[in-house]
């Protein structure tokens, strides 16, 4: 059942690494009866991929801030981010806290190191994806174009190495994030653990944890209805200003 409320909310939906705005359209569809939704492609993603600049969290945050500046300043939106999109949302909340009403992340890895980045990069080889998971290769080609998707993988791998060497967010940054944050993680997520998500929540001034049952990392395998209900509950909970 779709939740309803008399107060219409605004939410910006941010896709994950290798994704595009189409990745979150099923969620946007479920939110539209009660929320104004905005989606965007991060720089170098989607059918305009691969772009001309290296991928960076800071540049993706600029993409979000550009979209936020086009919205009413007196009614800041909530931001939902899946995986990498959640990391970008946290970066925005850290550096532009008045621009967002709150952040909801799902499957977002908050802690990066060279070892973590090296493990993630092993999954980003185009030739391996073509041979071992051809359906995923076809999906990436649909999202980013036949010529664009290998470049998206290469630039994502380079960004992850940079994340591992110089994480843009650390403990001190998380402790300064003022807006409320709900950290969502699936109990079957093989990429992000409940433990590291809880560690993040305990550092946030207004953090809370939600563990989704029977949920792995790929957002396509999340229950969209449940996620929409969780977002509704988070966005409509009264909080002191």
Question: Residue 61 belongs to what H/E stretch?
Answer: helix 57-69
pLDDT of residue 21: 94
Closest by CA to 104, choosing from 225, 216, 232, is 232
Residue 6, pLDDT > 60, answer no
| Coil/strand/helix, residue 214 | coil
| DSSP 8-state class, residue 76 | P
Cβ neighbours around 191 below 10 Å, total = 16
pLDDT digits (tens, 9 = 90+) for 62-75: 999 999 998 887 88
Q: What is the pTM of this model?
A: 0.95
Torsion of CA 83, 194, 100, 143, to 10 degrees: 10
Query: What region, left, alpha or beta, does residue 145 occupy, with left being phi > 0 and alpha being psi -120 to 50 degrees?
Result: left
pLDDT of residue 48: 67
Residue 36, pLDDT > 50, answer yes
Cβ neighbours around 138 below 10 Å, total = 12
Please state, in angstroms and rounded to a whole number, the distance separating the CA atoms of residues 96 and 103. Answer: 12
Residue 90, pLDDT > 70, answer yes
Distance, first Cα to last Cα, the chain = 30
Where along the chain do its domains lie?
9-111+172-236
pLDDT digits (tens, 9 = 90+) for 109-167: 999 999 999 999 999 999 999 999 999 999 999 999 887 899 999 999 999 999 999 99
The phi, psi pair for 89, rounded to 5°, reads -60, -40
| Coil/strand/helix, residue 152 | helix
Cβ neighbours around 166 below 10 Å, total = 9
Closest by CA to 211, choosing from 224, 230, 228, is 230
Question: Residue 58 belongs to what H/E stretch?
Answer: helix 57-69
What Cα–Cα distance (Å) separates residue 10 from each residue in 5, 13, 35, 207?
13, 10, 5, 20
For residues 85 and 239, the model is more confident at 85
Question: 70-79 burial by CB neighbour count: b if 16+ within 10 A, else e?
Answer: eeeeeebbbb
Residue 3, pLDDT > 60, answer no
Query: Which listed CATH number (3.40.50.300, 3.40.50.1820, 3.10.150.10, 3.30.420.40) goes with 9-111+172-236?
Result: 3.40.50.1820
| Coil/strand/helix, residue 177 | coil
Classify burial at 151, counting beta carbons within 10 Å of its beta carbon; exposed 0-12, middle 13-18, buried 19 or more.
middle
């Amino acid at each position: 059942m779709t939740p309803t409320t008399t107060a219409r909310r605004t939410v910006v939906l941010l896709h994950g690494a290798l994704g595009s705005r189409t990745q979150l359209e099923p969620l946007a569809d479920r939110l539209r009866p009660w929320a104004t939704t905005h989606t965007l492609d991060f720089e170098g993603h989607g059918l305009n991929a691969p772009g001309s600049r290296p991928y960076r969290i800071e540049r993706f945050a600029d993409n979000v801030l550009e979209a936020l500046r086009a919205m009413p300043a007196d009614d800041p939106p909530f931001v939902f981010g899946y995986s990498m999109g959640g990391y970008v949302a946290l970066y925005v909340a850290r550096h532009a806290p008045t621009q967002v009403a709150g952040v909801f992340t799902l499957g977002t890895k908050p802690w990066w190191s060279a070892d973590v980045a090296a493990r993630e990069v092993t999954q980003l080889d185009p030739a391996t994806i073509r041979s071992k998971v051809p359906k995923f290769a076809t999906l990436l080609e649909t999202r980013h174009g036949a010529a664009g998707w290998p470049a998206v993988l290469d630039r994502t791998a380079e960004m992850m190495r940079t994340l591992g060497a110089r994480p843009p967010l650390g403990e001190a940054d998380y402790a300064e994030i003022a807006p409320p944050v709900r950290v969502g993680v699936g109990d079957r997520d093989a990429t992000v653990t409940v433990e590291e998500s809880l560690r993040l929540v305990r550092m946030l001034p207004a953090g809370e944890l939600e563990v989704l049952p029977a949920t792995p990392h790929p957002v396509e395998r999340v229950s969209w209805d449940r996620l929409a209900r969780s977002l509704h509950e988070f966005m409509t909970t009264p909080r002191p200003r």
